[in-house]
Amino acid sequence: MKKYLAKRIAFSIFSLLVVVLTVMTLVYSLINRTVIFQTDDAWNKRSNNDRSYYEYTMYQKYGYLEFVNYKTFLAQKYEAKVGSNYTADKAYSADSAIIQNEKKYLDNDSVKEFISTYENEGYKIVYLKPILYSNGKAKPGGTGYLLATKERHMVVRLWDYIKQIIKVESKNDVQDPTITERYVRWEKDPYNGFYARVGMGTPHKYQLYFDSRFPFIHQNKIHLNLGISFTKYRGQEITDVITQPTGDLKTVRTQYPSKIGTDEYVDTAIDFHKLSWNYGELTEADKANYPDKYTVAGYQRKGLSMLENSFVIGLIATVCAYFLGLPLGILMARKKDSLVDKIGMGYIIFIIAVPSLGYIFLFAALGTTVLNLPYKFANAQVKILAYVLPTISLALPQVAGLMRWMRRYMIDQMNSDYVKFARAEGMSESEIFNQHISKNAMIPIVHGIPGNILGCLIGAIITERVYSVPGVGNLLTTAINGHDNGIIIACTVFYTSLSLISLILGDLLMAKVDPRITFESKAGR
Amino acid sequence: MENEKRIAENELFTFIDHDSIESERIIAPRYSYWRSVLRVFFRKKSNWVFIALFVLLIGCSFIIPIFAPYSPYENVTVPSTYHLSPAKAMSYFGGGGLKWILGSGGTGNSIFYGIWSSARTSLVLAVICAAINMTIGIIVGALWGYSKGVDQVMLVIYNIIANVPYILVVTVLMYVIGSGFGSFIFVFTLTGWLGIAYFFRTQVMIIRDREYSLASRCLGTPTLRIVSKNILPFLVSVIVTLLASELPSYISLEVFLSYIGAGLSANVNSLGRMIQEAQTAFLIYPWEFWPPVAIASAITIILYVLGQNLADASDPRTHM
């Protein structure tokens, strides 16, 4: 069993890698990379060479290429030579100004050194010529740049991506000479009176803490990072985007860490459990409010995160679907060819054949006009009612699917020998159905349960769009419309790993329910 | 009574010569598979109704666009023609026959002509995709199920590709390749056959090891012949069942992709695009939204039901 599982997991990881590499190759090499600037204000503000240089910095940030600026190279060179005050050095200023001279820059020794060093390392030299007015002054953004660029190989890109997916904080992570003692230990949490695991030297102050928000126990130790968004949430980590609440700021009456024990209270939305290390200079206010350099804070927001929104709706819908669909399927099988069966089959055909868009809009139209339920999520007066229609339109098609398969499996079982034998023994029909047939028919149904539950994390594309639910369902589709390669890769990893996990879980669950199924190959087979 | 008795026996019976060829003939009604399929299929009265509806749909979507070419931008310069309800459009344009019977859309376009022109695109798309996918899927699936060497290789490929959600494959490919009619077909057929092939593999495997097949192999029948003569005929009803769910699925998929903005390009009329354009205000201008939805649903339901009934009829066990 363990051997089989290890094999399955290994193969799953292998296929995940293949899929991610394929999608990366497709997305990074076939899509014109300039599309990421279409809606970028910072790009629009810049012009001429500044714009090109900005493009290179963004390409580097998003993993297309690596580049070295000649200025950085010079700075390193002169810092080694004359020390940290190199900017005052005359030779440095001469060397750095020479690239503004289109005709002479190639004669400069530093430039020659720069070009030969990086060309040997496989870089390509890019010279952005200075763009000048006729009087010799540079046009806005027209200063010249000398860069060495190297495209990143797809496998390198994949490897870098994999490396950054899981980050575990340790007490030696923050490089700062002011830290005298590094530790991670249990301390009394001043914000709720419980205990919390507090670190010094870790990027986040609180490694593990409790609060009143579901699921009540939180951690900052292990970070899952699926990459950064390109265009939609410029530069933000996608995992943060989908897991952080989307509502208004939640202001509470609390105290700054330094003020604990005094009677100085503030109304703020800062979440002191999310404090992280400040690598820059502390302001006066920071020094007054915080005892240490953990001063960078996140904010508390109301409401649910995108992931939670999708998951709540999906989970309720799935649970309802199982509670409705399975009994209805059993009923249809018992009353085969009766009116109930025919109505049920009509409904199943309707759901299978009609495009999902059609019936979701039909449910929306019926729900808003007949039942007077809120239509758009954001406009709902009573927040809880906004969840009703999306949940219904997710549950109803699932019900049809479950009815269909339950009926099918039941009817298949009804003709088997053990049923005839049970009947011959004189068991009542309901005994046969409830104790024998439905148990056997459940086995293939059980296989789909983990997939359906984990599938809620992916969200529902059409339903969420129709009702404007702030969920994760449209992450991929909006990313595609907005040319956000980062989100596309993240979605690929997320969706594919979810489906791999649910397949394995489904198989395990099925083996648990049905003792006849084993994964060990028996001798002699 | 007496007269009859007098007739000599040799007058009642005549001797005929022994005919060895004639004696081999089986005196039973000839059984033709396809004729029986049709007989069973048409025995069901509802199928006549569905066939009539199907012919009507096909006729409308292929004939109406010929006589009344649909151009979405014919009235784009006249904003007063936008979003007219059927009654208003009829009075605005002064009747105009069937053209304005369903009102006008967001650019003063005729909804009635629009749905038929779009339905034609959807039907052609579905038929081409289904034909390609089914052909490749059945050929590959038959070999995959029959040969154990192919099975090992294909299972690895299948396990990798099948783990990726289909929506992801389709949307990412549409994003990468672009959104013409040709690239649409390419995207749908690139991995679409794999699921069919896998389904088919399982079916073939079940029949492959039956006794008659085994006997045939022992007698030295070549693999290709076993596949085509012993196994495939058994699977006609399976193929038709698959076809019944494949054809509508492409129409639904096109509608879905257009809705999320990854559909056909703007110069191709499609049901998905009509729905996508009308969906934002579907409560205000219902006449723009429901006709394309209804046509798409009608096509898919009719194809599905006809296909299912044909599959039932093509099962030889129903030919009694």
Residue A462 to residue B256, Cβ atoms within 8 A: yes
The two structure tokens encoding residue B241: 């069942």
- The answer to whether B121 and B100 have CB atoms below 8 angstroms apart is no
* Phi then psi dihedrals of residue A145, to 5 deg: -130, 145
Query: Looking up tokens 């030969």, which residue turns up?
Result: A116
- Domains observed in chain A: 42-152 (no CATH), 170-220+245-299 (no CATH), 306-473 (1.10.3720.10)
For B255, counting Cβ atoms within 10 Å of its Cβ (0-12 exposed, 13-18 middle, 19+ buried), the class is buried
Q: What is the CATH number of the domain that holds B56?
A: 1.10.3720.10
Minimal Cα distance from A30: which residue of B?
B176
Respond yes or no on whether the N-terminal peptide bond of residue B233 is cis (omega within 30° of 0).
no
The residues with which A127 forms a beta bridge, in sequence order, are A146
For an interface test with A, the pick among B257, B259, B300, B308 (most A C-beta atoms closer than 10 Å) comes out as B259
Q: What is the 3-state composition of chain A as percent helix, strand, coil, each rounded to the nearest 5?
A: 55, 15, 30
Question: A interface mutation test: which of B125, B168, B252 has the most A CBs within 10 A?
Answer: B168
Tokens found for residue A87: 């900017």
Helix segments in A425-484, DSSP class H: 429-431, 438-447, 449-455, 461-466, 475-481
Q: What is chain B's mean pLDDT, rounded? A: 81
B193 part of a folded domain: yes
Sheet holding A124-128, edge to edge: A65-69, A145-151, A124-128
Name every chain B residue with its beta carbon within 8 A of the beta carbon of A375: 283
Please name the member of B168, B256, B261 whose beta carbon is closest to the beta carbon of A491.
B168
Q: Is the pLDDT of residue A199 over 50?
A: yes
Mutate to test the interface with A, among B50, B173, B174, B175 (most CBs of A within 10 A): B175
Judged against a pLDDT cut of 70, whether residue A515 lies above it is answered with yes
Could you tell me the two tokens for A482? 């907005």
Q: What is the mean pLDDT of residues B59-65?
A: 84
CA distance B8 to B6: 6
Q: How far apart are CA A238 and CA A243, in angstroms?
A: 9
**Per-residue pLDDT tens over the stretch A368-426:** 888 878 777 777 777 788 888 889 889 989 999 999 889 888 888 888 888 889 999 99
Picking from A19, A356, A503, the nearest residue to B252 by CB comes out as A356
8 A C-beta contact, residue A251 and residue A269: yes
Kindly list the residues from chain A whose CB atom is less than 8 angstroms away from the CB atom of residue B303.
353
Question: Two tokens at A421?
Answer: 């034998």
Domain membership of residue B86 (yes or no) is no
* Contact: A365, B255; criterion CB under 8 Å: no
Q: Is residue B98 part of a domain?
A: no
Cβ contact B137:B194 at 8 Å = yes
C-alpha A345/C-alpha A337 separation (Å) is 10
CA B212 to chain centre: 32
**B13 found inside a domain:** no
CB contact under 8 Å between A361 and B282, yes or no, is yes
- Are B259 and A465 an interchain contact pair (Cβ–Cβ within 8 Å)? yes
- The predicted structure's pLDDT at residue B99: 67
Res A520: pLDDT: 64
pLDDT tens digit string along A263-305?
888 888 888 888 888 888 888 888 888 888 888 887 888 888 8
d(CA A27, CA A486): 10
Question: What per-residue string of b and e applies to A128-148 under the rule 16 or more CB within 10 Å gives b?
Answer: bebbeeeeeeeeebbbbbbbb
**In terms of residue numbers, what domain contains B154?**
45-70+110-319
Q: Do B303 and A26 touch (CB under 8 A)?
A: no
Distance CA A331, CA A318 (A): 20
Q: Looking at the domain assignment, is residue B10 inside a domain?
A: no
CA A15 vs. chain centroid, Å, equals 20
B79 in any annotated domain: no
Rg (CA), chain B: 28
- Quick one: what percent of chain B has pLDDT higher than 70? 93
pLDDT digit string, tens, across residues A264-274: 888 888 888 88
| Count of domains for chain B | 1
Any domain includes B311: yes
Q: Could you tell me which chain A residue has the CA closest to the CA of B250? A: A355
pLDDT digits (tens, 9 = 90+) for B87-144: 776 777 676 667 676 777 777 777 888 888 888 888 898 899 999 999 999 889 888 8
Residues 6+ positions from B99 with CB-CB distance below 8 Å: B68, B93, B110, B112, B113
Select from A19, A354, A368 the Cβ nearest to the Cβ of B164.
A19
The answer to whether residue B59 is domain-embedded is yes
Mean pLDDT score of chain A: 85
